[in-house]
Structure 1
Amino acid sequence: MSAIPTCILLLSLSLCELIPSTGAHLRLCELVNETVSVEKDGCPKCLAFQTTICSGHCLTKEPVYKSPLSTVYQHVCTYRDVRYETILLPDCPPGVDPFVTYPIALSCDCSLCTMDTSDCTIESLRPDFCMTQRVNLPAK
């Protein structure tokens, strides 16, 4: 193989990373208002309310050459800065703590998924999913 076709091939591979593909129409990682639900074992009702979460697309690269010695990390849209608030679940029986603390996203980032604070599954439940009777909290 001559040097000129090899150079053109390498140049075209480098430019492919700069040209947006079909993912270009997806919304990038950003703050969004979303209805989420919280519920707790022992409490008969699920509380749905509006809060700010992180949602959107993060750019990822799939290596052309995969080596068993290298690791590929996928970045996800997740919280960078958060504030926590506590709410009271309605109708919890005596002996059950009715308070639930939840994060409010202040800023977002494309980074590795932290399983301690994020749902990193491929298919997850909607953020407003309830297993018990749903009660909507009025918007602030």
Structure 2
Amino acid sequence: LSPMLSQVTCFSLPMCVPSDFTLFVEEPECNFCVAINTTICMGYCRTKDSIVRDEVGPLLNQKSCTYEKVEYHTARLPGCADNAVFTYPVALSCHCGVCRTENHECAHRNNPGLQRLGQSSCTKPVWHIYPYLGQSDYSIPF
């Protein structure tokens, strides 16, 4: 029953896919906090670690949900001097793979200041920016 239960559990967890995410950018010299709607890679990736390391050596297989294809969009930050811009990733596709620390954030951040249940931690008025054409305040690539 145990192997069958673990297989059932595996399929009930959300798999590694692009997921909607709101990124809040607040710069001290700007009049607004910018809410950027984008997609990030999020979900379950199977990870294994052997319990018999002493006999066979380490059999560690750690994978994380990371970008397979990604675009970078640049948005102008409204209310800033000198036309300040911010570049952010938009996940097009994701896969379970080794996290490359040289260009990806591989650790989970436990930050209560991030958006939670539709609220933001911004101290300034929020200005929304969307990554796709047809949405209001579309971010124009440079």
- TM-score range relative to shorter protein: 0.5 to 0.7
Is there any run of 5+ residues in structure 2 with no aligned partner, and where?
A: 136-142
Instruction: Count residues with an aligned counterpart.
Output: 125
Superposition CA RMSD, Å: 3.2
Distance 1:20 1:71 in 2: 20
Q: For 2:127, give the aligned amino acid.
A: N
Pair 1:37 & 2:24 matched: yes
Query: Taking structure 1 as the reference length, what is the TM-score of the superposition?
Result: 0.68
Which entry has the higher C-alpha Rg, 1 or 2? 1
Aligned-pair identity (%): 32
Distance 1:131 1:120, change over 3 A: farther
Which residue of 109, 112, 121 maps to 2:107?
121
Counterpart residue type for residue 88 of structure 1 = R
Any stretches of 5+ residues in structure 1 without a counterpart?
Answer: 1-11
Whole-angstrom CA distance in 1 between matches of 2:27 and 2:111: 16
1:27 aligns with 2:14: yes
Tell which deviates more after alignment, 70-79 or 81-90.
70-79
Alignment partner, residue 9 of structure 1: none
SS where residue 115 of structure 1 aligns?
A: coil
**1:106 corresponds to which of 92, 96, 101:** 92
> Which amino acid in 1 is paired with 2:81?
P
Q: 1:138 to 1:122 in 2, by over 3 A?
A: closer
